[in-house]
Amino acid sequence: MNKKSVRRILRERALQVLYAYELNGEGLEALINGLLSDLSVQTDIDFARELIEKTIINRKELDEKIKEKVANWEMDRIALIDRILLRIGICELLYFPDIPPKVTINEIIEIAKDFSTSNSNKFINGILDAILSDLKESGKLNKSGRGLIDQSLTKSSKKNESIDDQES
């Protein structure tokens, strides 16, 4: 069995905090402190806390993006774990410029396999892929650095640039 990455464990902890917070509606700080108490590396604690806080702060926007992709479904019909995983995934796509989109989507799918139903990973993958496509098309995908931008986009835009250069 593969050993889980630190980031996967941190995402799972974020899921657990957000799930408990969704059910209770209060005590966020106590939940965060409790579920992150065994972590000793400050950057790990910071990442998990930032992921949790940005997911909560931007919940309405994240839910709107989900609603756009499940137009014929009520949000209440989506399993709570799946809704939270979608929020986490969209949050990373939008607000974590240093995490490649493929990494985000793969991580969320793997977590869904462990924490949700047998079909959830396919459902989540479809929605996150559609949202990623929308972000790319609209130019709202804020990713930078080596390996963070989809190579196919880079290659096709370089081809277009060289064609433009030849035409000039």
- Tokens 């994240």 identify what position? 62
Give the pLDDT score at 146. 56
Please indicate, yes or no, if residue 77 is contained in any of the structural domains: yes
Q: What integer pLDDT is reported at residue 30 of this predicted model? A: 95
What is the rounded distance in angstroms from the CA atom of residue 124 to the CA atom of residue 22?
19
- For residue 135, being part of any structural domain is answered with yes
Q: Angle at CA 69, nearest 5°, toward 5 and 130?
A: 55
CA distance linking residue 49 with residue 86, whole number of Å: 17
In which domain, by residue range, is 134 found? 6-167
Alpha helices in 1-150 (DSSP H): 6-24, 28-36, 42-57, 59-69, 80-95, 101-115, 120-138
Residue-wise pLDDT for 127-138, tens only, equals 999 999 999 999
- The pair of structure tokens assigned to 90 is 């969209």
DSSP annotation string for 136-150: HHHT-----STTTS-
DSSP 8-class letter at 19:
H
pTM, whole model, 2 decimals? 0.84
Q: Does some domain include residue 70? A: yes
Extract the tokens encoding 114: 């462990």
Residue 11 within a domain: yes
Residue 15 lies in a domain: yes
Domain count, the chain: 1
**Both tokens assigned to 41:** 């590396």
Burial of residue 162 (CB within 10 Å: 0-12, 13-18, 19+) is exposed
User: How does pLDDT run across 46-68, given as a tens digit for each residue?
Assistant: 999 999 999 999 999 999 999 99
Residues in the chain where the model's pLDDT stays below 70: 1-2, 145-168
Residue 1 placed within a domain: no
Domain containing residue 40: CATH number: 1.10.940.10
Question: In this structure, is residue 72 part of a structural domain?
Answer: yes
